[in-house]
């Protein structure tokens, strides 16, 4: 018989462990020609990095001009290699997600600074590809028409410079995609402030809409690199996208989200409660929660 105390404890533990990141490495084949030292597949578990290179003398914020590069932060998949990751909580096709996107993949693509260290973009680099497949059970696979290691490059902070040696105060939202109507090439010619504005609060990543492949939910993602590929692919994280009005991170819009926004009213660094990502929690964020409440 399950006692009320045991039930409360179990629910508390479930809440504590539930998260939007990939949870398990099912298999990993490194392949050939991958980046030396980047061979730990568990680096794909957990959220994308906001600060990189802590083990070195050149640690910086993660920005499109300063992508994640630590061996404890990325895994490299060489030619003929693959990695299979799984989620404890299914990634579901949800039309209430921003722009209908359900899953984000973070690699280590970046932007070329043509006026270093000013942060003027003159090109893109590091989009090394990788085949993406998804599965509802780990047995049957569907090919997705995206590349794994691709733009948008990861942006860790909204209020930090492109090469800052200390973290910012206003984090980006890692469960918010960049608007897919914006092409990554649009950043070319822009200064850093304009690039951050284009992200509109997002941390970047490559978006996947499960509706486009006809799946209601998936639990597994496989990333592979063909034997005849030119480059290895680097992967940092996989993230389940959140709903527009989800101010608590539980993928549900309810009274809890209303309370979260009200409780954070006036805050300037609460990325979850700041649903319109304008840098402050105010009445517009409350309206988004109310408008997307079922």
What does each of the 294 residues of the chain score in pLDDT, given as a tens digit?
Answer: 434 344 333 333 333 446 899 999 999 999 999 999 999 999 999 999 999 988 777 899 999 999 999 999 999 999 999 999 999 999 999 998 999 999 999 999 999 999 999 999 999 999 999 999 999 999 999 999 999 999 999 999 999 999 999 999 989 999 999 999 999 999 999 999 999 999 999 999 999 999 999 999 999 999 999 999 999 999 999 999 988 888 887 778 889 988 999 999 999 888 888 988 888 999 998 888 888 777
What are phi and psi for residue 187, nearest 5 degrees? -75, -15
pLDDT at res. 288: 86
Q: Determine the Cα–Cα distance for residues 126 and 73; give it in Å rounded to an integer.
A: 16
pLDDT at res. 16: 40
Task: Identify the helix (H) or strand (E) that includes residue 17.
Answer: helix 4-17
Q: Do 285 and 244 meet the contact criterion of CB atoms below 8 Å apart? A: no
CATH topology for the 245-294 domain: Type 1 dockerin domain (1.10.1330)
Entry pTM: 0.87
DSSP for residue 238 = E
Q: Determine the Cα–Cα distance for residues 235 and 25; give it in Å rounded to an integer.
A: 13
pLDDT at res. 19: 86
Question: Where do the domains of the chain lie?
Answer: 19-242, 245-294
The residues near 36 (Cβ < 8 Å, ≥ 6 apart) are none
pLDDT at res. 18: 65
């Amino acid at each position: 018989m399950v006692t009320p105390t045991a039930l409360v404890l179990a629910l508390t533990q479930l809440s504590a462990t539930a998260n939007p990141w990939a949870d398990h490495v099912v298999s990993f084949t490194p392949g050939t020609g991958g980046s030396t030292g980047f061979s730990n597949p568990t680096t794909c578990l957990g959220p994308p990095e906001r600060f990189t290179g802590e083990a070195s003398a050149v640690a910086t914020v993660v920005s499109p001009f300063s992508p994640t590069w630590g061996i404890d932060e990325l895994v490299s998949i060489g030619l003929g290699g693959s990695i299979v990751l799984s989620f404890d909580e299914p990634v579901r096709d949800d039309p209430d997600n921003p722009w209908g996107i359900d899953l984000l993949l973070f690699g280590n693509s970046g932007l070329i600074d043509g006026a270093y260290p000013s942060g003027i973009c003159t090109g893109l680099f590091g989009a090394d590809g990788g085949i993406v497949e998804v599965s509802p059970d780990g047995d049957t696979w569907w090919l997705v028409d995206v590349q794994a290691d691709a733009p948008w490059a990861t942006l860790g902070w909204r209020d930090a410079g492109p090469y800052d040696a200390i973290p910012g105060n206003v984090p980006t939202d890692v469960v918010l995609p960049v608007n897919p109507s914006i092409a990554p090439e649009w950043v070319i010619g822009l200064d850093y402030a304009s690039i951050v504005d284009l992200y509109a609060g997002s941390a970047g990543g490559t978006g996947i809409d499960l509706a486009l492949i006809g799946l209601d939910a998936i639990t597994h993602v496989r990333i592979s690199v063909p034997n005849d590929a030119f480059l290895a692919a680097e992967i940092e994280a996989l993230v389940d996208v959140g709903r527009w009005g989800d101010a608590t991170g539980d993928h549900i819009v309810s009274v809890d989200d209303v309370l979260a926004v009200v409780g954070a009213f006036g805050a300037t660094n609460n990325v979850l409660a700041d649903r319109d990502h304008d840098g402050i929690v105010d009445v517009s964020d409350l309206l988004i929660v109310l408008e997307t409440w079922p």
